[in-house]
Amino acid sequence: MINAKLPKMFYGGDYNPDQWPKEIWQEDMRLFQLAGIDMATVGVFSWALSQPDEATYNFDWLDEVLDLLADNRVYACLATSTAAVPAWMAKRYPDVLRVDFEGHKRKFGGRHNFCPNSPTYQHYSKLMARKLAERYHDHPALAVWHVNNEYGGHCYCENCEKQFRVWLKKRYGSLDQVNQVWNTSFWGHTFYDWDEIVLPNRLSEHMNGDRTNFQGITLDYYRFMSDSLLSCYQGEYDEIKAITPHIMITTNLMGTFKPLDYFKWAKQMDIVSWDNYPRFDTPMSMIAMRHDLMRGLKDGMPFMLMEQTPSQQNWQPYNSLKRPGVMRLWSYQAVARGADTVMFFQLRRSVGACEKYHGAVIEHVGHENTRVFRECAELGRELTLLGDTLLDSKIQSKIAILFDWDNWWAVEMSSGPSIDLKYVDQVHRYYEAFYAQNIQVDLIGVDTPLAGYDIVIAPVLYMLKPGYAAKVKTFVERGGSFVTTFFSGIVNENDLVTLGGYPGELRELLGIWAEEIDALFPDMNNQIVMNETYGELKGAYNCGLLCDLIHSEGAEVLATYGSDFYQGMPVLTRNRFGKGDAWYVASSPDKQFMQDLVRELCGQKGIQPVVQGPEGVEATTRTKDGKNYLFLMNHNNSAQKLDLGETSGRNLLDGNRYGGVIQIKAKDVLILEV
């Protein structure tokens, strides 16, 4: 349980009384009560207020806020305020400012604006964390610690450059080793002195964005930068932990956020929390996948939904309103997939600067008589009703999809074979097929044990880290089904090709050799032609993007290409290996193939959907103390009928029993205890 003081889902969000006169605070408390709000994230951007210069700390305002919250039975998710450095610090200690990708030293401005390797920043951010912990360790309002905010970004300053060399020394020991893993003999890049190494940006190895001359250098730089920020987090964490060992510490993550290796981060977090901000064109299945990924970061442990907008965002091109019911529906979707809190950015809309058109529970009009407030208050009422029923419940799955940040970085910085190859999209293509059938899936990292799963899918497993091939082999030998795709097994953890034939270390397991890789233009496709009907798989499907030209070396050829000069070569293979099997999908198939493949794989393992419903009705199950909680969520704009079969149960939200053929209203949610 996140915090035993309040045995229910925390409900609330970011709250910035420091941006408001005190006369507003009392009104806020009244409105929080009305809305059932019991958690406020405070102090996220208050560094300049709490510390006006090197020597002065001023926490009076925060004392007052926390006391007020406590008086009103609102708990604090207390932020350490280190995500934006004060202007005075930027002025006096320019080392806190970043240098950007183009090599420009930044000036004061924005947020997430600190260099993670700045000694000044490290010193004062840790000090701030300590001072807060010392002051509030026993405060009755304190429920959770919120370190910094949405860590991210890169810095290319001299301090980072120097620390990069230290990081490399630690990782590789010798410069010879660095030269080797980066393959610096290419283009005569051999380094004879550590100081010759520079950071990879537009002034050195990069053309633009991810396009680099040396993938190995950039890969290590990305790791180093993720680690640098993590070490800032860790610094604050350690200060706090020493003082309040029993309070959970988190920092808010951002789903499929590329710059940080969240699996590595999650190890250092007591609980995962994240901010759910889909773009205007994000499919529901992608939001679901992000929830599952966040849950997977700590092996299925529930997470905090730290931020979402109650109504609209401000930084999209077109900031449409969440339609009536959608905020509630999406809140429950988070819960259905592992969230144990429902929180917003933000509780009161700001009066100025760039987020003033971001939705809030309390809008600019300032009172409770708005559609948005009413919807928030209704959800608050329901969450109170739910109490601790769902807290700490788990989601169980026999299927895992691998997600790996290093692989993501490597795939997308590859020069060739196709600029259209996007890692998250490929993972999502597989995820979506399960999602559409309401089959529960875990998103796992390379360190996650495979033993509990029946099926492991690793789309575009381009980079094989040391030992991972062996881990997969063991999994298959013992009876598991493993599925991977084109452009897999190509490189090691330094983006050096595994010589001797693709897919490298997976060749034996998969029983194939990929001789060549063809890239298709966006308007071209090929076909997956089944040799004969194979369970759910039949006839022909379209495929595209990349086509591996593979030869079977023992694998059963289930389908071959339908056209081009490699017509007749295998495109779908299955290799029996020990008690299990290993599948290879040599191109990027259409949705129908995905659906059929998923059906076939699950069929073989006897894995059932949670519920088979009409399109757009999402279902998951959370389990606790032997009880199952079936979530049914209708994303459609119209009511849908649904056959629950023999399943029935009481809906926690209205107390009624549901079973057999039921109807679920547009945008509505049921949580059946079954």
Q: Which positions are catalytic? A: 150, 307
In the complex with a copy of itself, the residue whose CB is nearer, 23 or 138, is: 23
- Amino acid symbol at 638: S
How many CA atoms within 13 Å lie on the side-chain side of 155?
A: 28
* HEC assignment per residue over 547-562: EEEEEECCCEEEEEEC
In the complex with a copy of itself, the residue whose CB is nearer, 134 or 196, is: 196
CB contact at 8 A, 480 and 456 = yes
Q: How far apart are CA 203 and CA 662, in angstroms?
A: 62
CB-count burial class (<10 Å; 0-12, 13-18, 19+) for 330: buried
CB contact at 8 A, 108 and 97 = yes
**Shortest Cβ 109–a copy of itself spacing (Å):** 3
In the complex with a copy of itself, the residue whose CB is nearer, 65 or 401, is: 65
- According to DSSP, residue 475 is labeled H
Q: How far apart are CA 368 and CA 361, in angstroms?
A: 9
Grouping H, G, I as helix, E, B as strand and the rest as coil, residue 355 is coil
**Shortest Cβ 539–a copy of itself spacing (Å):** 27
In the complex with a copy of itself, the residue whose CB is nearer, 29 or 433, is: 29
CA distances from 673 to 267, 340, 386, 395, 656 (A): 32, 17, 12, 14, 11
**Shortest Cβ 433–a copy of itself spacing (Å):** 25
In the complex with a copy of itself, the residue whose CB is nearer, 117 or 621, is: 117
Grouping H, G, I as helix, E, B as strand and the rest as coil, residue 46 is coil
CA distances from 330 to 39, 374, 566, 624, 636 (A): 19, 16, 46, 22, 13
In the complex with a copy of itself, the residue whose CB is nearer, 364 or 641, is: 364
In the complex with a copy of itself, the residue whose CB is nearer, 186 or 643, is: 186
CB contact at 8 A, 510 and 544 = no
CA distances from 336 to 340, 616, 627, 648, 655 (A): 9, 15, 14, 18, 18
Unique residue bearing structure tokens 């875990």: 442
**Shortest Cβ 237–a copy of itself spacing (Å):** 21
Q: How far apart are CA 309 and CA 477, in angstroms?
A: 47
Grouping H, G, I as helix, E, B as strand and the rest as coil, residue 380 is helix
Q: How far apart are CA 287 and CA 557, in angstroms?
A: 35
Nearest residue to 467 (alpha-carbon basis) of 493, 500, 495: 493
In the complex with a copy of itself, the residue whose CB is nearer, 108 or 534, is: 108
In the complex with a copy of itself, the residue whose CB is nearer, 411 or 528, is: 411
Q: How far apart are CA 105 and CA 578, in angstroms?
A: 57
The token duo for 244 is 């309040």
CB contact at 8 A, 399 and 434 = yes
Strand 617-624 with 627-634, pairing: antiparallel
Nearest residue to 229 (alpha-carbon basis) of 411, 54, 83, 78: 83
Q: How far apart are CA 292 and CA 300, in angstroms?
A: 8
CA distances from 620 to 435, 574, 629, 664 (A): 10, 30, 8, 15
In the complex with a copy of itself, the residue whose CB is nearer, 183 or 612, is: 183
